[in-house]
Amino acid sequence: FSVDVWMKSLLSVTSACAVLARPTKDNFNLRLFFFFPLVSIKMSAKEKEASKKEVTLLSKMKHQNIVGFIGSFQERNSLYIVMEYCDGGDLLKKINMQRGVPFTEEQVMDWFVQICLGLKHIHDKKVLHRDIKSQNIFLTSGGMKAKLGDFGIARMLNNTMELARTCVGTPYYLSPEICENRPYNNKTDIWSLGCVLYELCTLRHPFEGSSLRQLVSKICRGRYSPVPSRCSYDLRQLITQLFKVNPRDRPSVSSVLRRPFVEKHISKHLDQVGLKILLNCVNMVKTNKHLITKYLSPGSGVSPCEVTRNL
């Protein structure tokens, strides 16, 4: 990738830098993530291995609700990872911009369902994210599309129920089992998912404390302020289920998506996937383009399946 636009550089606590750049041959923006130039002597073998694992994981995650992986390359002892640019920023930024004004439940569920779809893709591949938080969920399409990103501490499991033992994650979103240094599986991501959903409903963290010890104590007891009554009963019940202290009592992400209350918000996102596939096919047969325009015009009420039959 030859960079011709240098927009900004963001220093993060992980010693990485994000640069917004554009490939010289294409007319679209990409976000170029790269690690600071580190000579081989200073970069431990463990750090190199961790970087390679992240690239491998990213290359396998191809889903509309996961930040797209474009490629990677090494230069002068530095690893560069090229990712899709999400122009809407992250969900934490969006929450802070509300200045106390709550999101509508429709908007909350719209984002939540997309996050769940991305997480299901990850879990289906037997991978734990391990750092789900509002700051790792990015927005595009005018803030309407949500994408899960930052797989810096993701871990692949040998099988779905295998238990990991490394204590990782962001304090506010840590599950009780991680706080207590107990083995954990994909249900720890479900707890963090609950934290994000609660945050979208209340604009604050579910578990807070004046010290790390107090925070951990609240997490392990599952004590949090009730969700406001303006939220529907179904939504409040869902949060209660996601915050079960015993991980076995928490639903899987697939189970969450099958709930009627959640399921009704899914169709438009799945239809978009179907439309995208359909349009890609039709673009290869240019003579059929006029049919797509005809059958998918606003207000036509024709589904992608009906278009296929007409083609």
In this structure, is residue 212 part of a structural domain? Answer: yes
Domain count, the chain: 3
Ranges assigned E (strand) in 66-222: 69-75, 78-84, 127-128, 137-140, 145-148, 155-156
Cα 17 vs. chain centroid, distance in angstroms? 20
pLDDT of residue 302: 54
- Interstrand relation of 69-75 and 30-35 (parallel, antiparallel or unpaired): unpaired
In sequence order, the β-bridge partners of residue 23 are: 3
In this structure, is residue 2 part of a structural domain? Answer: no
Instruction: Provide the domain limits for residue 35.
Output: 9-84
In this structure, is residue 189 part of a structural domain? Answer: yes
Q: Distance between CA atoms of 186 and 88, rounded to whole angstroms? A: 28
pLDDT of residue 26: 55
Task: Report the percentage of the chain scoring pLDDT > 90.
Answer: 34
**Under the phi-then-psi rule, with left for phi > 0, alpha for psi from -120 to 50, and beta for the rest, what region is 13?**
alpha
Overall size of the chain counted in residues: 311
The residue among 264 and 278 whose pLDDT is bigger is 264
Q: What is the mean pLDDT of residues 97-113?
A: 94
Ranges assigned E (strand) in the chain: 9-11, 16-21, 30-35, 69-75, 78-84, 127-128, 137-140, 145-148, 155-156
Are 113 and 241 part of one and the same domain?
A: yes
With contact defined as beta carbons under 8 Å apart, do 197 and 242 qualify? yes
With contact defined as beta carbons under 8 Å apart, do 170 and 136 qualify? no
Q: What is the mean pLDDT of residues 239-244?
A: 96
Catalytic positions, written as ranges = 131
Is residue 31 predicted with pLDDT exceeding 80?
no
Are 200 and 140 part of one and the same domain?
A: yes
**Domain stops at, among 84, 114, 145:** 84
The residue among 186 and 57 whose pLDDT is bigger is 186
Q: Distance between CA atoms of 51 and 263, rounded to whole angstroms? A: 37
Structure tokens at 11: 């220093």
Are 13 and 116 part of one and the same domain?
A: no
pLDDT of residue 163: 53
- Under the banding of pLDDT at 50, 70 and 90, the label for residue 171 is confident
Are 136 and 96 part of one and the same domain?
A: yes
Q: What is the mean pLDDT of residues 111-124?
A: 93
**Domain stops at, among 69, 84, 99:** 84
pLDDT of residue 245: 95
Is residue 310 predicted with pLDDT exceeding 50?
no
pLDDT of residue 307: 44
pLDDT of residue 129: 86
Sign of CA dihedral 115, 118, 123, 126: negative
Is residue 73 predicted with pLDDT exceeding 60?
yes
* Cβ atoms within 10 Å of 136's Cβ, excluding its own: 22
